[in-house]
Structure 1
Amino acid sequence: MGATYRALCKHGYASLRMQDIADESTKSKAALHYHYESKHDLLVAFLEHLYEQFEDDIGADCGDDPATRLVTFVEERLTPRGDGQKEFQTALLEIKAQAPYDEAYRERLAEFDRLVFDRLRSMLQTGIDRGVVDDEIDPEDTAAFLVEHINGAQIRHVTVDASLGAARNRLRTYLTEQVLTGSEAAGSGE
């Protein structure tokens, strides 16, 4: 899976070949074909692998305070994660562009979307229950809005080099001014 990641970063989705993945690993192209019939099958397995990593990553505890957890969770979705991240996001965008035509890609990508949506909805509801999120908001609508903003910001970053930092700041402002209650909003920017 590491070799697939590195090859995707170097070559992108459209130009990626099984040989490129083999070149990034200790396996031969024939060994890759033994386990995966095609590049498509390998990439579906790669998306499954990424989902498992992502599920573990977003399950990490950000503290007990619901306001801090919400802001931290959203900000982490809009923070670059090291070398090759933009190249990887570009390759992932290419895979996403295939999803309308490829059910396996669409299903895997929908799992990511549902996971983020469910986590945000749960955080918002917990915040409402604990009095730190405005009880006038609808957790489902707000979670959908946040997912759409995060996805859009990531796409803009890859396609037109828009700043993730600026998107993160705008979303933090939205959360503190529109979602969190007064006392929680004041402390969430720390």
Structure 2
Amino acid sequence: MTTTQNELMEATYVALCKHGYASLRMQDIAAESSKSKGTLHYHYDSKQELLSAFLAYLYDSFVARIDALEADSPDERLRALIETVLSPRDEETEQEFRTALLEIKAQGPYDDEFRVQLEAFDRLLHDRLETTLLDGQERGTFRDDFDAEPIADFLVTVLNGAQTRHVAVGHPPEQTRVQLLDYVDRHLVAATDADATNGTDDADAAEERSP
């Protein structure tokens, strides 16, 4: 991507936050950059083509973000993935941007190119989650009695739903994040020897209290 195209992508982000998808005009994007509307049309024939390029730009940015996650274990990597999706970097602009992005997602059923690109986001997140779960099972970090593929699918559904619910009705993604991390602890992380010992002690104590 050239310097000019990168600047236009950043301008598209700002313009989307300000105007939303439906009201966005090419002129709005040009106004957020140092380039003219003519330069914008030189690179992109239409709003649809520009937004398609913008989705590709977001995809590359998302790949870079998750590739840069610092995690020493599958458990840490899984939590970091959840945090990355549900923890906004800038609360105010992120809310505006997610609203605009939801508008773009709503075009998926009617625009084949948008749908293919949106599916790529889902597939990337699903594959990274599934790979992390399988890695954790091989290392003994996660329990070995669940199928990683449907669990990854479930997590993607919850993460996407949390973002949509946040935009549509203002439900804080922080609540979903807390619940998902609790789910990881309760249902995915393998029990340690200490957990097993504590469980035995609790059972013995309960038996002693029984009449």
Q: How does the TM-score come out when normalised to structure 1?
A: 0.94
Deviations 1:21-52 (A, max 9, x none): 01101111111111100000000000001111
- Per-residue CA distance 1:131-184 (angstroms, 9 max, x = gap): 111111111000000000000000000100001110100100111101111239
Gaps of 5+ in 2: 1-8, 196-211
C-alpha RMSD of the superposition: 1.3
Matched to 1:37, the amino acid is D
Q: Which residue of 2 aligns with 1:115?
A: 124
Tell me the residue number matched to 2:48.
40
2:74 counterpart of 1:66: yes
Match of 1:90 in 2: 99
Q: Partners in 2 of 1:183 and 1:79 — Cα distance?
A: 29
- Aligned residue identity for 1:73: L
Letter in 1 for 2:12: T
Match of 1:7 in 2: 15
CA contact (8 A) 1:9 1:91 kept: yes
1:79 and 2:87 aligned:
yes
Aligned position for 1:163: 172
Higher relative contact order (CA 8 A, sep 6+): 1
Q: Secondary structure at the match of 2:71?
A: coil
Q: How many residues in Structure 1 have an aligned counterpart in Structure 2?
A: 185
Gaps of 5+ in 1: none
Q: Give the conservation status (yes or no) of the 8 Å contact 1:3–1:24.
A: yes
Whichever residue aligns with residue 155 of structure 1, its letter is T
SS at match of 2:87: coil
Kept after mapping to 1: 8 A contact 2:143/2:189: yes
Decide whether the 8 Å contact of 1:75 with 1:172 is kept in 2: no
Offset at residue 80 of structure 1 (A):
1.1
Aligned pairs (5 A) from 1:137-156: 137-156=146-165
User: Given that residues 51 and 112 in structure 1 are in contact (C-alpha distance below 8 angstroms), is that contact kept between their aligned partners in structure 2?
Assistant: yes
Give, in whole Å, the separation in 2 of the partners of 1:89 and 1:178.
30
Corresponding letter in the other structure for 1:123: T
Contact 1:18 / 1:32 at 8 angstroms: preserved in 2?
A: yes
Determine helix, strand or coil for the equivalent of 1:99: coil
Distance 1:183 1:74 in 2: 23
Give 3-state SS (helix, strand or coil) of 1:100's partner. Answer: coil
Percent identity for Structure 1 against Structure 2: 51
Question: Could you tell me the TM-score, scaled by structure 2's length?
Answer: 0.85
Match of 2:115 in 1: 106
Does structure 1 conserve the Cα–Cα contact (< 8 Å) formed by 2:71 and 2:80? no
CA distance in 2, matches of 1:132, 1:70: 11
